[in-house]
Copies of this chain bind each other. A is one copy, B any other.
Amino acid sequence: MQNITIYDTTLRDGAQAEELNLTTQDKVRIAQKLDDLGIHYIEGGWPGSNPTDRRFFEEIKSCTFKNAKLAAFGSTHMAKFTPEKDPNLAGLLEAETPVVTIFGKTWDIHATIALGVPLERNLELIANSVAYLKARVDEVIFDAEHFFDGFKRNPEYAIKALTAAFEAGADRLVLCDTNGGSLTSEIGRAVGEVRKLLPEARLGIHAHNDSELAVANSLEAVRLGAVQVQGTINGYGERCGNANLCSVIPNLELKMGFEVIGKENLARLLPVANFVSEIANLRPFMRQPFVGASAFAHKGGIHVSAILKDARTYEHIPPETVGNERRVLLSDQAGKSNILFKAHELGYKLAKDDPTVDRLLKELKIKESMGYEYSVADASFELMLREALGKPLDYFHFRHFFVVDAKREEDAEPMSEATVIVDVKGQQEHTAATGMGPVNALDRALRKGLELFYPRLGEIRLLDFKVRVLSGAVRDTGGTASFVRVLIESGDGTDRWTTMGVSHNIIEASWQAVVDAINYKLFKDEMAEA
């Protein structure tokens, strides 16, 4: 079986995506995850272009990688300098990576318009830069920018540019569909032609998704002989993004029979995709192939009954091969089996005809129509399940809260202060605390009252806090009066759990989630001690 190498550019081209901003530390953490996943090349950034990337290459020097080679990215040297004097090439060498990737112009109008140099001079820039780097670095990759557009308009010049890089010693020639405008059939034709003209070159493909063809174009290039695919996790990237590695890899591995990252790593694709979207702080795309939350979610009644007989009927691959799972969406009969499945997972034994199941289904449907989303808040679901089973938790009772935010100076943050009254084990506790914002103040005041009785609450750490405005409600009531859902992820060093609140009022929604998080911690500890 032939090997295909994956070249990840999430940290460089991916970071060009709208709304995506990565700190140096984010980049280091993502690089480590990519290495764990078995990715072969990680492009860390453009050391000459901004301070984040420069710092990244400094910090990453202390990390060792198991699988991946690190690459620094930059352009051919500037026309006004020799390679020796070019600050951009110098920056690439200072990064001290085993691989350097440089891009050069292969579309004639790009050389003359964007770069503003004569066509012959551009060929020199390419050859000089590659040769200069190849003498100083293990591996030099040449990204042929706009290759397919160039090949369509001036094939002779595009091939000349590629040849210049090849003859100067480039280890790989990566054909880029920089504008993402090429059709799959055009990619096929061009790759076939290059294979004929430069049979000894090792080719790669770098596709963009502007025509929604980046994955297909990458696969087509591989089918015709390319041995490397460049892309990004979740397809992040400038404009419509890059070829989505989360789709490219499973297609190559499961359907085309190539050895890529291996089946074992492939089964960890989904957690890595989620890790990156989490760090990037971008909402995951539900309908994303392979790793999306909806990718194996069945809603249609016919589909549900068929997959219960044989999953192949409506699933193209077993979800677990990419770390995903089958979901049956709450609707009609599917609801009951879903609740039973979930309850069973949590260790509660329920018969299908137990009236609790009906009651729970009814409550769940009401809550979900209000905006609660139990599929992501397991801890809140378990608390609801216990209520339905007649076993509600009884650690404390709410009496009262009061939160104040006061701002008295133009450039200062407001002062936030909260008071809370709760009854705990027959005693009334009245506490007060300040905080960084009203929710933090409330959280601190509540815990102050409870920690006297339950000292292990001191172990709770709030790991994440997400707020979503529910768009259904926006339409009805508009803007600042709309429904919000708050999700809180908590941890105590041993476990992590997610709780939820929904309300018109963000304070109330957060309060619900905080209360659930604390109750869940107390319940969990009690179970563990019992």
Residues of chain A touching chain B, judged by Cβ–Cβ distance below 8 Å, are: 15-19, 21, 23, 25-26, 49-50, 52, 109-110, 113-114, 178-181, 183-185, 209-213, 215-217, 219-220, 223, 235-236, 238-241, 244, 247, 251, 255-256, 278-279, 281-283, 285-290, 292-303, 305-306, 309-310, 312-317, 329, 331-333, 368, 373, 375-376, 398-408, 410, 413-414, 416, 435-440, 443, 461-472, 474-475, 477-482, 484, 488, 490, 503-508, 510-511, 514
Taking A297-B18, A435-B480 as contacts, is the C-beta distance between A109 and B464 under 8 angstroms? no
Q: Evaluate contact between B405 and A505: CB separation under 8 angstroms.
A: yes
Taking A219-B184, A240-B289 as contacts, is the C-beta distance between A109 and B465 under 8 angstroms? no
Q: Evaluate contact between A183 and B219: CB separation under 8 angstroms.
A: yes
**Docked CA distance A236–B488 (Å):** 25
Taking the nearest CB of chain B, how far is it from the CB of A290, in angstroms?
8
Q: Evaluate contact between B303 and A413: CB separation under 8 angstroms.
A: no
Taking A310-B109, A416-B505, A507-B416 as contacts, is the C-beta distance between A467 and B481 under 8 angstroms? no
**Docked CA distance A409–B469 (Å):** 24
Taking the nearest CB of chain B, how far is it from the CB of A56, in angstroms?
14
Q: A179 — which chain B residues lie within 8 A by C-beta?
A: 314-316
Q: Evaluate contact between B183 and A256: CB separation under 8 angstroms.
A: yes
Taking A183-B255, A241-B287 as contacts, is the C-beta distance between A464 and B472 under 8 angstroms? no
**Docked CA distance A314–B479 (Å):** 36
Q: A306 — which chain B residues lie within 8 A by C-beta?
A: 110, 113-114
Cβ contact of A216, chosen from B216, B408, B439, cutoff 8 A: B216
Q: Could you list some 8 contacts between A and B, CB below 8 A?
A: A21-B331, A211-B290, A212-B216, A239-B298, A436-B481, A437-B481, A464-B474, A466-B469
Q: A401 — which chain B residues lie within 8 A by C-beta?
A: 405-407, 414
Q: Evaluate contact between A470 and B19: CB separation under 8 angstroms.
A: no
Q: Evaluate contact between A50 and B332: CB separation under 8 angstroms.
A: yes
Q: Evaluate contact between A298 and B332: CB separation under 8 angstroms.
A: no
Smallest CB gap from A410: residue in B: B398
Cβ contact of A402, chosen from B317, B402, B404, B478, cutoff 8 A: B404
Q: Evaluate contact between B469 and A465: CB separation under 8 angstroms.
A: yes
Q: Evaluate contact between A109 and B405: CB separation under 8 angstroms.
A: no
Cβ contact of A480, chosen from B216, B413, B468, B510, cutoff 8 A: B510
Q: A247 — which chain B residues lie within 8 A by C-beta?
A: 211-212
Q: A438 — which chain B residues lie within 8 A by C-beta?
A: 403, 405, 438, 505-507
**Docked CA distance A511–B409 (Å):** 13
Taking the nearest CB of chain B, how far is it from the CB of A32, in angstroms?
15
Q: Evaluate contact between B215 and A292: CB separation under 8 angstroms.
A: no
Q: A405 — which chain B residues lie within 8 A by C-beta?
A: 401-403, 438, 505, 507-508
Q: Evaluate contact between A506 and B23: CB separation under 8 angstroms.
A: no
Smallest CB gap from A401: residue in B: B407
Pick from A236, A256, A406 the residue with the most CB of B within 10 Å: A406
Q: A314 — which chain B residues lie within 8 A by C-beta?
A: 178-179, 239
Taking the nearest CB of chain B, how far is it from the CB of A301, in angstroms?
8
**Docked CA distance A292–B477 (Å):** 26
Q: Evaluate contact between A467 and B467: CB separation under 8 angstroms.
A: yes
Q: Evaluate contact between A21 and B240: CB separation under 8 angstroms.
A: no
Taking A211-B215, A438-B506 as contacts, is the C-beta distance between A287 and B373 under 8 angstroms? no
Smallest CB gap from A116: residue in B: B309
Smallest CB gap from A283: residue in B: B471
Q: Evaluate contact between B181 and A109: CB separation under 8 angstroms.
A: no
Q: Evaluate contact between A333 and B480: CB separation under 8 angstroms.
A: no
**Docked CA distance A16–B438 (Å):** 36
Cβ contact of A400, chosen from B256, B375, B408, cutoff 8 A: B408
Q: A303 — which chain B residues lie within 8 A by C-beta?
A: 238
Smallest CB gap from A331: residue in B: B21
Taking the nearest CB of chain B, how far is it from the CB of A374, in angstroms?
11
Q: A464 — which chain B residues lie within 8 A by C-beta?
A: 469, 471, 474, 479
